[in-house]
């Protein structure tokens, strides 16, 4: 057997050992299904760290959602013989009903569809990293057992009148002696914890600076990609800290950074990137630009000073912000309003709000067909769109 085959065999054995001694979902102290709490108890790490890991995985393309559902289905509950999924195929008893098990199984389909439909290569990498973390946990902490509460015998009540140094009255002839002075105890030395958080922050700063320099030569180092690298560094530091009982303070930086990264990747900005506001009032057909755009901000386009004849076509676009277009009362307007991620639309009497909304049509104004013709596209990723005739 070659060295590679031996290594793969060792990984397989470790994962089989993890399954044989898999975590048990407790009935007390859990927030939802007890998956995170059970993993934390099994490997004696902070439950908060495990919960944060699931949240980070959920933000990383949605991987954390099907993984949590899988843990709910495959890990037995405290006091049960087998997991809910095993109970469904008659391998033993589980306190979860078959109907609940089937419902959880059905929820896996939309969760997996969303994850693999939107994540691509990122999902594969995240799953591989998760399996590697499970392997490391089992390899380094698999020998540990969940902490149990010992049942201590009830204390023996003291004999009435006995001094504190002889509560059971074993030496009544010496009860008249004074109480011995307590022996001073030296203060216990504080254990020195590894400076995992400080080292992780140093690596994160180095990665940030290196990404900024590399961005001068490579277009790959965009803001979402750099944030993803920083999240990976902080998550790795948090994982290392879970083994040595340090680094928990990294959570306060990882959570907001994960939220920002999720927002940037979910919204998918690919339009204009400038910041500010635009306000234009063209008075002739030639004054109208083909496009008015802003990255984050507002655009106000007032076409009410236009003449009563002619044709104009323009686009108003933003990544995040408010877009308002005023059109003349008698103009013939063909319009398309859209919020590709989330927004609120109010375009010549047609309204819509929510995620990925769009309205459009043709409005001939008060005088019917005839007059200035306007072809208008108003597009945003996130924000408010208004086309008003006033």
pLDDT of residue 151: 40
Amino acid 200: pLDDT? 81
Distance separating alpha carbons of residues 379 and 385, to the nearest angstrom: 8
pLDDT at 196: 73
Asked if 250 and 238 count as a contact pair (C-beta separation under 8 A), the reply is yes
Residue 224: its pLDDT value, please? 67
Report, in angstroms and rounded to the nearest whole number, the Rg of the chain calculated over CA atoms: 33
pLDDT at 248: 65
- Tell me which residues of the chain have a pLDDT lower than 70: 1-5, 7-8, 59-61, 116-123, 125, 145-194, 219-220, 224, 238-248, 250-252, 254-255, 257-275
Q: What are the φ/ψ torsions at residue 234 (nearest 5 degrees)? A: -65, -40
Distance between CA atoms of residues 311 and 303, nearest Å: 12
Write out pLDDT tens, residues 114-159: 776 655 556 676 777 777 777 777 788 777 766 443 344 456 566 5
Distance CA 83, CA 224 (A): 39
pLDDT for res 150: 36
Q: Which residue from 348, 326, 328 is spatially nearest to 337, judged by alpha carbons?
A: 348
Q: Please tell me whether the overall predicted TM-score, pTM, comes out greater than 0.85 for this model.
A: no
């Amino acid at each position: 057997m070659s060295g590679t085959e031996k290594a793969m065999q060792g990984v397989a054995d470790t994962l089989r050992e993890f399954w044989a001694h898999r975590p048990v979902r407790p009935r007390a102290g859990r927030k939802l299904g007890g998956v995170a709490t059970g993993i934390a108890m099994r490997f004696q790490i902070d439950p908060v760290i495990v919960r944060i890991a699931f949240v980070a995985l959920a933000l990383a393309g949605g991987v954390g959602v099907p993984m949590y559902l899988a843990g709910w289905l495959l890990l037995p509950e405290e006091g049960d013989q087998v997991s809910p999924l095993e109970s469904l195929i008659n391998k033993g008893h589980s306190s979860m009903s078959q109907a609940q098990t089937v419902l959880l199984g059905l929820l896996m389909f939309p969760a997996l569809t969303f994850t693999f439909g939107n994540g691509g290569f990122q999902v594969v990498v995240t799953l591989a990293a998760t399996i590697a973390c499970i392997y490391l946990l089992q390899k380094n902490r698999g020998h540990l057992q969940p902490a149990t509460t010992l049942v201590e015998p009830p204390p023996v009540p003291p004999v009435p009148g006995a001094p504190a140094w002889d509560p059971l009255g074993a030496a009544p002839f010496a009860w008249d002696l004074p109480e011995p002075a307590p022996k001073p105890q030296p203060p216990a030395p504080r254990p020195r914890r590894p400076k995992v958080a400080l080292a992780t922050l140093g690596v994160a700063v180095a990665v940030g600076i290196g990404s900024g320099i590399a961005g001068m030569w490579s277009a790959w180092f965009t803001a979402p990609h750099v944030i993803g690298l920083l999240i990976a560094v902080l998550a790795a530091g948090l994982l290392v800290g879970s083994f040595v009982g340090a680094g928990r303070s990294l959570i306060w930086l990882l959570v907001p950074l994960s939220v920002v990264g999720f927002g940037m990747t979910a919204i998918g900005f690919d339009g204009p990137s400038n910041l500010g506001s635009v306000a234009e009032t063209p008075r002739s057909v030639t004054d109208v630009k083909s496009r008015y755009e802003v990255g984050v901000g507002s655009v106000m386009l007032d076409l009410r000073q236009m003449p009563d004849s002619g044709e104009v076509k323009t686009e108003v676009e933003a990544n995040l912000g408010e877009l308002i277009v005023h059109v003349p009362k008698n103009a013939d307007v063909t319009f398309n309003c859209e919020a590709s991620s989330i927004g609120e639309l109010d375009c010549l009497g047609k309204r819509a709000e929510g995620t990925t909304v769009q309205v459009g049509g043709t409005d001939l104004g008060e005088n019917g067909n005839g007059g200035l013709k306007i072809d208008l596209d108003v597009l945003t990723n996130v924000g408010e769109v208004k086309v008003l005739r006033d």
